[in-house]
Amino acid sequence: MAGIVTGMDERGFQPVASCPLSEAREAVPEATAAQAGFVAINTIVCQPHYVERFECLFCSRARMIDKMPGFLGMNVLKCQDPVEPYLVVSFWETEQHFHAWVGSAEFHEGHKRAFADLREYKERGEQPPMSSTFKTYSVLSR
């Protein structure tokens, strides 16, 4: 992992461009997001010491979700204010498609490394390196 931290600014905030896997990131095309009938937003508070690992997990994310029926795309949003949480925004055709993913083997496979990290911290009796809450949205306007 050494080398990935280079380019951190004085706040310890890592610019996106310094990630060697940044080409793996892709924006949701406008047409895709515009088709969504349902949006789920997972808000993740990440401890400062875990930021580098967290961003690397998403740069090399499992992409298990990509093959799920009704999945239209996702964005991981990093706030320009580094004390604010990350938002994992996923766009779906319907709410049923989202719930099918959450109950699927793909959800667990896509979170394998994240959940393993949480387990390891817990086993060591340490505070979790990240915490998450999600909310779901219908699309009111386009």
Positions touching ligand HEM (CB under 6 A) are 40, 42, 44, 54, 57-58, 61-65, 74, 88, 90, 110-111, 113-114, 130, 132, 134
Nearer to ligand HEM, 11 or 137 (CB): 137
Nearer to ligand HEM, 28 or 65 (CB): 65
In angstroms, give the least distance from the CB of 20 to ligand HEM. 16
In angstroms, give the least distance from the CB of 15 to ligand HEM. 20
Instruction: Give the residue among 67, 62, 73 at the shortest CA–CA distance from 108.
Output: 62
Nearer to ligand HEM, 4 or 64 (CB): 64
Alpha carbon distance 57, 10 (integer Å): 23
- Residue whose structure tokens are 């009704």: 70
- Percent of the chain as helix, strand, coil, to the nearest 5: 35, 25, 40
Nearer to ligand HEM, 12 or 103 (CB): 103
Residue 3: both structure tokens together: 């080398």
Cα dihedral 20, 109, 134, 139 sign: positive
Alpha carbon distance 72, 90 (integer Å): 8
In angstroms, give the least distance from the CB of 18 to ligand HEM. 19
In angstroms, give the least distance from the CB of 115 to ligand HEM. 7
